[in-house]
Structure 1
Amino acid sequence: MIKAVIFDMDGVIIDSEPIYLDLAIQFLKKYLKQDYDQEKFDKTICTAVGKSDHKLFEIVSEFLSDEYTWEEVHEKSQKEWRTFTLNYKTILKPHLINVLKDLKSQNLKLAIASSSPYDNIMQVVKECEIQDYFEYMTSGEDFKESKPNPEIYDHTIKKLGLKPDEVIAIEDSTYGIEAALQSGCTCIALEDTRFGFDQSKAHYLVKDLFQANKIINKVKSQ
């Protein structure tokens, strides 16, 4: 019996991934090799969507100028991005609030398991006024390995006091889906064709959170 739903944040709660990706690309242009392969770079950086920003810089390290290590460039990004602001309410995914209300009315436990830093998670939920819906919020920065390692899901499920087969995860990225599946959750993927995600392994593929909610209610009643 389903007793909880765990949400990824970027790409599921807010449509932030294209914004963050563009921000990273514009920043990285200052540190890339002069003769880097543009097409290969574009494909490679898209594979980092769903990973922590720390991992993103490691993934694109082969394209960086020999003057810098990826760790140095990552550190520079953190200083520069402190001034970046985003109105999270304007990028809430459609149907989110109604879905949260419906799930909560059924006494389902709700949680967030995101690769983003904890401070960012808290900023999003507070600005969007949705923090009261969630019983627990987990950040990937608390773990040695980010998604697709299932540790973030294993930890969240344990904190909820449940078993994996009592939990549905809503994800979008290849890595997020893999992490949820490895933890033993039922996984619903929000369809997204912009980043080349492999969403084929998810138990269900849906267009939006409204459809995801229908699946949750169907599975819950079985």
Structure 2
Amino acid sequence: MSLKAVLFDMDGVIVDTEPLHRKAYFKTFNQLGIDVSEELYTSLTGASTKKVCDTLIEKFGLSETYEEIAAIKRAHFKDYFYNDSEFDLISGVRELIQHYYENGITLILASSATMTTINMVFDKFGLEKYFSGKISGADLKESKPHPEIFIKAAEMAGENIKNCMVIEDSTNGILAAHRAGIFCSAYKSYHTHNQNYSLANMIVSDYTELEVDRMSKFF
């Protein structure tokens, strides 16, 4: 058994788009005239846009469709994505991606984000060449914490799940990796709040801890 493939979540792992999503969502809530509590917003962290919109429509009895709400939110998000000066890759992740790539590890992106957002991030930060494949949870029937996305990512990598590792930062993502039976490293940073890491195989707050030689004791 050895580490052959790493399955990356994107939000909170490669980039922190969470503040951008947050700003875009709250601007959208204002536009829709609904009052979303912190508790409700936190419970939706890591869920697909469709799941968030469906929850809001049901909870607040909104007349808008999922497509209409998603379009409003997407326009705000795009604005922040290109214009928010604080938006950048998470510290140390580019070096880790390059390190895996140079060591012949297959990299797959497995994110709940839409493929449009994934491609925006990959283009903006020049990540395309390092990854062998990308999966958007928005294109799947089930979203995290269902394990489908990571099972598909391992298949895409062409590796046995025993030789794969997931890097995640959210309760739902960690639970999905656990249910898929894949080793999960939880990345915990100063901007991570209210997430449960109890099912992760290890917790790190510095990406150098996930370098190949350091992982050899697990694989």
Deviations 1:5-28 (A, max 9, x none): 111011100011122112101211
Inter-partner Cα distance in structure 1 for 2:67 and 2:168: 31
Aligned-residue offset at 1:132? 0.5
> Any gaps of 5 or more consecutive residues in structure 2?
none
Residue 74 (structure 1) aligned with residue 69 (structure 2): yes
In structure 1, the gaps of 5 or more residues are: none
Cα 1:76–1:112 change in 2 (3 A) is closer
CA 1:90/1:210 → structure 2, altered by over 3 Å: closer, same or farther?
A: farther
What is the CA–CA distance in structure 1 between the aligned matches of 2:87 and 2:25, rounded to whole Å?
20
Q: Distance in 1 between matches of 2:147 and 2:96?
A: 25
CA contact (8 A) 2:49 2:70 kept: no
Which residue of the partner structure matches residue 16 of structure 1?
Answer: 17
CA-based RMSD of the aligned residues comes to 2.4
In the alignment, is the contact (CA less than 8 A) between 1:44 and 1:60 conserved in 2?
A: no
Q: Which amino acid aligns with 1:112?
A: L
1:187 aligns with 2:184: yes
Asked if the contact 1:21/1:49 (under 8 Å) is kept, the reply is no
Partner of 2:149: 152
> In the alignment, does 2:168 pair up with 1:171?
yes
Paired AA for residue 209 in structure 1:
Y
Structure 2 vs 1, CA of residues 27 and 176 (structure 1 numbering), >3 Å: closer, same or farther? same
- Distance (Å, rounded) in 1 between the aligned partners of 2:77 and 2:22: 16
Deviation at 1:2, TM superposition (A): 1.3
Q: Give the corresponding residue for 2:205.
A: 207
Measured at CA, do residues 28 and 107 of structure 1 come closer, stay the same or move farther in structure 2, by a change above 3 Å? same
> Retained in 2: the 8 A contact 1:4–1:168?
yes
The equivalences for 1:3-152 within 5 A come to 3-33=4-34, 41-61=37-57, 63-64=59-60, 66=61, 68-69=63-64, 71=66, 74-77=69-72, 80-81=75-76, 84-87=79-82, 90-152=87-149
Once residues 206 and 79 of structure 1 are traced to their aligned partners in structure 2, the CA distance between those partners, rounded to angstroms, is: 31
Distance in structure 1 (CA, Å) of the matches to 2:3 and 2:186: 17
- Deviation of the 1:79 alpha carbon: 6.3
Query: How far, CA to CA, are the matches of 1:23 and 1:82 in structure 2?
Result: 5
Query: What's the CA shift string for 1:131-158, capped at 9, x where partnerless?
Result: 1010111111221111111111111111
User: Taking structure 1 as reference, are residues 82 and 29 closer, same or farther at Cα in structure 2, changes over 3 Å only?
Assistant: closer
Q: Distance in 1 between matches of 2:24 and 2:70?
A: 15
Residues 219, 133 of structure 1: CA spacing in aligned structure 2 closer, same or farther, 3 A cutoff?
same
1:220 paired to 2:203: no
How many residues align structurally? 214
Helix, strand or coil at the partner of 1:98: helix
100-109 or 7-16, which deviates more? 100-109
Fraction of identical pairs, as percent: 26
- Secondary structure class of the residue paired with 1:30: helix
